[in-house]
Amino acid sequence: MARTDTRQSRPSTETVRVADRIHSAAIRLLRHLRVADTTTGLSAPRLSALSVVVHAGQIAIGALARAEQVRAPTVSRLVKALERDGLVTRTRSPEDERVQLVRATARGRRVLVGGRRRRVGALAAAIDALPRAERSALSRAATVLLRMDL
Amino acid sequence: MARTDTRQSRPSTETVRVADRIHSAAIRLLRHLRVADTTTGLSAPRLSALSVVVHAGQIAIGALARAEQVRAPTVSRLVKALERDGLVTRTRSPEDERVQLVRATARGRRVLVGGRRRRVGALAAAIDALPRAERSALSRAATVLLRMDL
DNA sequence: AGCTAACATTTAGTCTAGCTAACTAAATAT
DNA sequence: ATATTTAGTTAGCTAGACTAAATGTTAGCT
């Protein structure tokens, strides 16, 4: 290692080390939780789309395509599948008759939050076994991570 | 909310809240980093398989299938594709001539660690902009998360 | 030798997801 | 009124991932 790196243009080796450990921790965490919950039966693209819809309340096909970084026909098909499964409904916008507003059904919301609840539950059980100091370390880190712009 | 929940069989609402925020943070983090690095050109299953191979050093097709929770033919194809791209090689096991041992090539390792390096680099840049106290909060959290059994 | 189990591949078929191009319908501009 | 733009769908294509079933090979018994 070549002396101390204090250039502001490049992260210090210590920062890189922290980044690496956070990265590993996030990967490990989500992998374990995913294994713990395969019960939604939805593919990743569908789950992601549903998540955006639920979060947005209601959203047009085009906006959803932009959010998911895919083309409109792809979303059109995704939404059709979600609709077939009774997870979303669509209605024409009253202001602009061209746009289709997609909304989650109660069942769609249940599927999403149910899966989330199971994953979070597994994680919470593990966190619950930690000493108080470590729990609050996690809490502080979550605050920092959620505020980061990236 | 019905009074304080102090049963040790179920995490406290506070713990669940921390779990929820860590979960969200991890999802958000990896999503952003994945978008920031699409340069490997590998699909998720291939990347995952390559990762297991690199981590294991060498591994049989069947064991890889079990690790990835798919059937043998699926892995057989995945490995064939990775082999075509020069990322892995396979050799028959000397002890058991039925098994194909898959090993990563130098290029395979480079692809994997290169992608990781880019993602970690993007994260490190963001962390570098944080005040010292927040950086060490992340460091402590990483330590805790990596030690957790889950 | 002969039988059975295990490892991997091939075959044949399904499903998902992504794309472009061409279309319909509605809104907006000229 | 005519033309253009915008939103979405449909059709047709490619690529990838998955499966079950059949097959070839090798190992290990008895």
Distance from CA of residue A120 to its chain's centroid?
A: 13
Yes or no, beta carbons of B29 and A15 under 8 Å apart: no
Work out the angle at residue B117's Cα, subtended by the Cα atoms of residues B37 and B146, and round it to the nearest 5 degrees. 105
Nearest CA among A112, A96, A85 for reference residue A62: A96
Token digits of residue A8 = 């502001």
Q: Cα torsion at A65, A73, A40, B76 (round to 10°)?
A: -110
- What is the per-residue pLDDT for B131? 94
DSSP symbol at B99: P
Which pLDDT tens digits describe chain B residue by residue (150 residues)?
444 444 456 788 889 999 999 999 998 888 888 766 777 888 889 999 999 999 999 999 999 999 998 999 999 999 999 999 999 999 998 889 999 999 999 999 999 999 888 889 989 999 999 999 999 999 999 999 999 877
Enclosing H/E stretch for B74: helix B72-84
pLDDT per residue over A103-132, tens digit each?
999 999 999 999 888 889 989 999 999 999
Task: Decide the pairing of beta strands A58-60 and B100-104.
Answer: unpaired
Nearest CA among B33, B4, B35, B40 for reference residue B127: B33
Yes or no, beta carbons of A21 and B128 under 8 Å apart: no
d(CA A102, CA A85): 14
Cβ–Cβ < 8 Å for A75, A65: yes
Token digits of residue B41 = 């050109």
Number of A:B CB contacts under 8 A?
A: 159
In chain A, which residue ranges form alpha helices assigned H by DSSP? 13-36, 44-56, 61-68, 72-84, 106-128, 132-147
d(CA B31, CA A148): 13
Yes or no, beta carbons of B125 and A23 under 8 Å apart: no
Q: Which of B11, B28, B116 sits opposite A127 (nearest CB)?
A: B11
d(CA B84, CA B100): 16
- What is the per-residue pLDDT for A7? 43
Cβ–Cβ < 8 Å for B141, A140: yes
Q: Which of B124, B125, B144 sits opposite A134 (nearest CB)?
A: B144
Q: Which of B15, B137, B145 sits opposite A128 (nearest CB)?
A: B15
CA dihedral for A79, A84, A85, A87, sign (positive or negative): positive
Interface of B with A in 38-67 (CB under 8 A): 44
pTM of the model: 0.81
- What is the per-residue pLDDT for B2? 45
Token digits of residue B136 = 């060490």
| Nucleic acid strand D within 7 Å of A100 CB | yes
Token digits of residue B38 = 């699409």
Contacting residues of B for A29, CB less than 8 Å apart: 22-23, 26, 145, 150
DSSP symbol at A90: E
d(CA B117, CA B110): 10
d(CA A42, CA B45): 17
Nearest CA among A38, A62, A46 for reference residue A114: A38
